[in-house]
Every structure is written in structure tokens, then in C-alpha cells.
Amino acid sequence: MHTKRLGGLALGRLALGRLALGRLALGLAGALALGACGGDDGTGNGGGEVSQDTSQASGEVTFWDTSDATNEAPKFKELVARFQTARPNIKVKYVNVPFSEAQEKFRTAAQGNSGAPDVLRSEVAWTPDFASTGFLADLTESLGDTGDYLETPLSSNQLDGKLYGVPQVTDAPALLYNKAYLDKAGVEPPKTWADVQSAAEKIKSVNPGVQSAIFLQSGGYFSLPFIYSEGGDMLDVDAKKITINSPEAAKGVHDAVDLVKSGAAKADVTSDSYNNMMKAFKDGTTAMIINGPWSVADIKTGKAFKQTGNLGIAPTPAGSSGKSGSPVGGHNYVIYSQSKVTDAAAEFIKYMNSAESQAFLARELGLLPTRKSAYDQADVKSNAEVSAFKAVLDAATARPWIPEGGGLFAALDTEYPKALSGRSSPQQALDAVAKAWKSGVVTDYS
């Protein structure tokens, strides 16, 4: 999740998307078969269904990469270059599209059937949305064995019993902390929000320059670790009920507000709160933040983390429910349903999403693989940061995988800062979110 990445907000990167892989063998080998529509793909197949054997595919594939242009895109470009060397008969037109713009750019292009990419790196919340409007290939019949994928990331690609993509990367926010600061204060990584509050003064008193024990940014996505930790949730999808303003959810937001009122936390409610949080952590003026694996490479460029191994990773603190709460995010590869080069697109995705490629991104960027076999790769096994985030992911909470999922965060982005700054009570803020969802997002929910 990053701060340029949450559906409808300027946040982090949550991740869901859909890829049109055909018969997936576990690794680089294996044939892909995808259902899609389109014209001539350069092989005489005429687009349409993706062949079960795509090994002879050729053509030019346009790929929209939505990764961070500074910290991540160079590594995705490196993978693209490796693919070009391995498959010179398939050309790739690489385009880095800002995350904050990609969702609507793709929608506009797909609606007009003009200018949409063949392959999109789609945030998880976008996938059900695009699938419901017919913009993504239905992979249900053509997708082979999906047993190599982690269950929750894979489930983000399902809509009405069908599969529309394959997860490329997954994530869940964790409590990130400066080990040197906590060690000097003689405190353990907090296990509860109450622990954060009780450790705050000690951390600040023995670490000159530390202005806050924890820095809270105000993007709505980052309210979820608090809401989930008290047993709250956004929606009850089965019952078609809005639950964001339940007493449990309000208690979660109250935990965040209490941290601010106590002086343990600094809350930034500006439009640049994510970047301000990251700067404070990298510069060493705060001891802890809540963020995901996408932020690791950037954090390590900060002066507070020049010493190898100073970044600590722990589950987000628990509330009175006793459980840690962290939302599942990520990105998927998807193929545009009207692509004219579906076979070539399938070959490209197969390479980009192999266990080896996922292990490369884990090593270089700290991103979490979605394939079980990737965790057996040496680069992943030896990566302590990936292992720490994987433990967080295993206990994380799946967000609602519904077409309207990407629209849930706009109201949270507006109302959560009001609660953090004291302009609204937690209950008032979440009541306003529920009202906005009922009137314009999930109108058929009670």
C-alpha cells in the first residue's frame, strides 16, 4: 500500500489487480490460456481466446506499470529487459503510469476502446470494478492450477464465482520502528495501543530529536489497523450491511485519537501526510510508523537507517479485542479484454509473475510474493524483512472484494482526519462515512 496508492485516495499501495494467465504451470514453464477479445495478435490467432500454448507468440505488448517511479519502477524495467532478451519476438512498450491516475486513465481508455494497455498492473480494489464492467478477460475456464498462490491474494481476483486475474504482489501494513531508539529506551516493540502510549515518554526522553513516539498519517486506509484491532470492519458483504460505524469500529478510531491526545502520536491531517510521515521516520524525528513492505526501499535511504538492520518490523498493535488488525492489499496483473495480442500478453505476464521474478522483487524491493513457491527461493528465505511482513500478512484481514471497493476510501479520507484533529468525534466521523457510502457507493446495503 503506499501513499499514492489507495483506490480513491492519495495513499499507499494496496494491491489487487487481474492478470490473464492461461494454464499456469508453477514456475517459468507452463502454458497460459486466457479468454479475451481482440484483433490480430501477430501470430494469425486473431486475438480472441489465448492459446493454450503461447510459446510461439509474437507482437508488441503495451504494459502500464503503476509502481512507484523512483523506488520501484527501475526494478520492474529490469525484469522487462530480461524478458525482452529471453523473448525477442515479443516487444514490450513499457509505460509508468502514476498510481493516482491509472485507475481513471484505464477506465476512460477501456470505455472508449482506444488506448488501453494490453497488460495493467492493477491495484486490488480496481480488479472487481474493472471485471464487473467487462474490461478484463474472464480467466475462469482457461486458468489452470492456482494452488501455488496464497489464498487471500488470489481471492481478490474473484467476482461472482469467476477469476479475472492473478495476484502479482501482496502486502499488509506493519508497525515499523527504529530499533536503536527502542533499545535505548529499554522498551519492546509495543503489542497493544496502550503499550505505545505507555512507552512514548520514555522513548522521547532518552532520544534527543524524537518529537513523537509514533507518527500517524491521516489517509483513510491507515485507519483500518485501528478499526480491525477492535473487531470492527468496513462492511458485512454477506449480509449487505454497512458496519464502518459500529461501536467496535468507533472504538478503533478512538484508540488513534487517544494516542494523539496523550502526546504519544503526531497526527498529520494535511494532504501530504504520507510523505510527511515518511520524512519524519527517515530523518529520525519519530520512532514508529505504520506502513507496508512497499516503503522499505525508501526508508533505507533515510539517515536514521544508514546502519544496516536498524529497521524493525512487528505486527500492528492490538486493541482491547486482543487482535492485531492489518488490511490486505496488493496488485494483480490483468489483461484488457479487447487486447489484440493476448497470446503475447500472456507470455509476458507468465515471465513477470514467475516465482523467480517475484523472488527478485522481494530481494530488491522487499515486496511480498503471492506464490508459495517463491518463498522457497533462496533470495526470499534469507530476507528477514520479507519473513517479518509475511507473518503480518498471515494474520491480516481481507478487505471487501466487491466492485465498489475502490470507492470506499474517499469518505474515509475526508472524515478520518476530522476525528484525528478533534473536529469530529470518532462516532460522528464514521457515521458520516456510512452515510456517504449508503448514498453513493453501496446504495443497496443497509
Mean local confidence (pLDDT), 63-90: 95
Q: Are 190 and 147 in the same domain? A: no
Q: Are 187 and 307 in the same domain? A: yes
Q: Are 203 and 66 in the same domain? A: no
Identify the band that residue 287 occupies on the pLDDT scale cut at 50, 70 and 90. very high
Q: How many domains does the chain contain in total?
A: 2
Mean local confidence (pLDDT), 171-177: 96
> Quick check: 243 pLDDT over 90?
yes
Identify the band that residue 37 occupies on the pLDDT scale cut at 50, 70 and 90. very low
Q: Are 352 and 266 in the same domain? A: no
Residue 412 parent element (H or E): helix 409-420
Mean local confidence (pLDDT), 235-262: 97
Please, which residues bridge with residue 163 across strands? 158
Predicted pLDDT at 25: 33
Residue 274 lies in a domain: yes
Predicted pLDDT at 32: 34
71-107: b or e for each residue (b if 16 or more CB lie within 10 Å)? bbeebbeebbeebbeebeebbbeeebbebbebbebbb
What confidence tens digit (pLDDT) does each residue in 389-445 have?
A: 999 998 899 899 999 998 999 999 999 999 999 999 999 999 999 999 999 999 999
Q: Are 319 and 187 in the same domain? A: yes
> Quick check: 145 pLDDT over 90?
no
Domain that holds residue 71: 59-171+329-394
Mean local confidence (pLDDT), 151-170: 90
CATH classification at residue 241: 3.40.190.10
Query: ∠ CA(378), CA(362), CA(356), 5° rounding?
Result: 60
Residue 378 lies in a domain: yes
Residue 36 lies in a domain: no
What confidence tens digit (pLDDT) does each residue in 80-95 have?
A: 999 999 999 999 999 9
Q: Are 185 and 120 in the same domain? A: no
> Quick check: 27 pLDDT over 80?
no
Q: Are 161 and 241 in the same domain? A: no
Task: Give the span between the Cα atoms of 330 and 13, in whole angstroms.
Answer: 7
Q: Are 166 and 178 in the same domain? A: no
pTM: 0.83
